[in-house]
Each structure stands twice: as structure tokens, then as C-alpha cells.
Amino acid sequence: MYKEELRDKKELILTEDGTKTLFSCEFNEAYHSTKDGALVESLEKHIKPAFLLQKDKKDLVILDICFGLGYNTLTTLYYIKKHNLSINLHIISPEIDRGLISSLKDFEYPKEFNQFRNIINDLSKNLYYKDKNLTVEILIGDARAIIPKIDKKVDIVYQDAFSPKQNPLLWTKEYFADIKALSKSNTIITTYSVASSVRMGLYENGYNIFLVDGKGVRSSTIASPKILDLKYIDMELKKARNPKARSFRDSDFN
């Protein structure tokens, strides 16, 4: 089967928290953890930790890797509205699958997102939404080509690509170097991955590594150039205990 045909082939899945996601035949993986649940995973592994760590900022630029079904972006909006936060928000999100974005106007999202139906429709059609306090841009194409062209420094990165096993080029040392070029001194990176190779790639680019235990979900990783009041992962100790530990490299997959 051609890659384009695989990209179009997806299956609807009900996740543990009652919300729906899709299974990608192209990447042989679901867009979200079926065990943690699509909405709960977004909230507990990405949005809550990121916003708690950036709670004093009134202007935020978020890089959402990759847009997919839009759960991270929409859960961000839900969290802001629920907590009545006064924030100017700019979300930038690479996404390779234009057909998927076009289909989102018909996707059965959780009821929490009903209030954002106009935003979903605009993004589905135009890849763009803007109002007084919010700008969302979906950039269609390969994230590796798009990220170096982004001209804004970012406060938060949702590192939520398909897994290193299925999509390794969005988890390499060189990829994280491109993310570092967009980072501020206190940028927060959230990711579901706890793999040593992923943490090494972040660490080798100057990020400190932390463990996060969300409510009702499995552990995840936070990375930042700044030392945070979280459970610190000593990567030098990890290297001493396992001298063969290393990051993924682009050359591993070329």
C-alpha cells in the first residue's frame, strides 16, 4: 500500500476516559494513549504541568508537535476558559496530514470542546484562527522542515509526536537542537516519553530533565533549560551507570 493511502487509512478508537481518538495505519499507532484517555492524557501530561510552571506569564507562545486531532490545542483553550485565565496565546502547530485537518469539522470531540466548535471549523477549513486573545496556526508539512523556519521564541512545547519507535526523526538529538533554537531560558517541554534515548537527546541540548506524575496517568517527562521544583533526573548519573546510553541521531535513520 502506498504511503498516501496509509495516511488516509485511520480507525476510530474509544479511549479509557470515554473520549475518542484515531489509530493511524501509516504510523501503526493511536494518536493518544488508549489507557490514559485522549482528554486526560492531554490535560495531565501536557497542559496542567506546562501552565502551572508558566503561571505568571500573560503572553504565551506554544509549539504543539504535531496538531493531529487537536486535543492539546483544544484542551489548552478549555483549561484557560475553565480557570478564567487572562492570557494572550499564540499556538503554532506543524502537521503533515492536511486530509486529517480537513476532517476535524466532523470529528466527535468530547463535550468539553463544544464551546470551541467555531475554532475547530475555521482550523479545519483555513488552518488558521484569530481573535482578540488567541492565534492558532497549523503549518502543513514535515515538522523537521517547518521548525527551523519558525521566527518566534516559544514558552511551551508539547512534544507529542508519534512514538520514537514509529516516528524517530521527531525525537533525535538534531531535532531537539532545532527546538532549543526556539527556546527561551525558561521554556517548558512536556512529553509522554520517559525513554532514556529521548531524555538524553534533550539533555545533550542543554535541557534539565524532570519526572512528572500526573493524576490518573502514567509518568511523563518535563524538560527545561531552567532548574524546576520537580523531581530531578540526574542524567550524568544515568550515563555513569550505563555508558552505552545515548540519544537517537538523524544518522541512525538515514
pLDDT tops 70 at residue 249: yes
Indicate which CATH number applies to the domain containing 128.
3.40.50.150
Beta bridge mates, 183: 154
Q: Give the per-residue pLDDT at 140.
A: 98
Which domain, by its residues, includes 217? 38-253
Q: CB burial class (10 A; 0-12, 13-18, 19+) of residue 107?
A: middle
Q: Distance from CA of residue 159 to its chain's centroid?
A: 4
Query: pLDDT-based confidence at 166, cuts 50/70/90?
Result: very high
Give the residue-averaged pLDDT of 53-62: 97
Q: Is 16 inside a domain boundary?
A: no
Phi-psi region for residue 227, left (φ > 0), alpha (ψ -120 to 50) or beta?
A: beta
Determine, yes or no, domain membership for 125. yes
Q: What are the pLDDT digits (tens) for 12-44?
A: 999 989 999 998 888 889 898 888 899 999 999
- Cβ within 8 Å of residue 100, ≥6 positions away: 10, 68, 69
Q: How many domains does the chain have?
A: 1
Q: Is residue 133 part of a domain?
A: yes
Strand (E) or helix (H) holding 119: helix 117-126
pLDDT tens sequence across 77-119 = 999 999 999 999 999 999 999 999 999 999 999 999 999 999 9
State the Cα–Cα distance between residues 38 and 43, nearest whole angstrom: 9
Residue 53 forms part of a structural domain: yes
Confidence band of 1 (pLDDT split at 50, 70, 90): very low
In a domain, 8, yes or no: no
* pLDDT beyond 80 at 156: yes
Asked if the structure places residue 61 within a domain, the reply is yes
Residue 3 lies in a domain: no
Q: In terms of Cα–Cα distance, which of 248, 239, 197 is closest to 221?
A: 197
- For residue 89, being part of any structural domain is answered with yes
Task: Using pLDDT thresholds of 50, 70 and 90, give the confidence band for residue 143.
Answer: very high
pLDDT range class, residue 127, cuts 50, 70, 90: very high
Residue pLDDT, tens place only, 212-242: 987 788 999 999 999 999 999 999 999 999 9
More confident residue, 1 or 94: 94
Average pLDDT over the chain, rounded to an integer:
94
The reported pLDDT for the residue numbered 2 is 44
3-state secondary structure of 191: strand
Task: Supply the pLDDT for residue 7.
Answer: 58
Quote the pTM value.
0.94
- Of all residues in the chain, what percent carry a pLDDT higher than 90? 86
> 157 - beta bridge partners?
63, 189
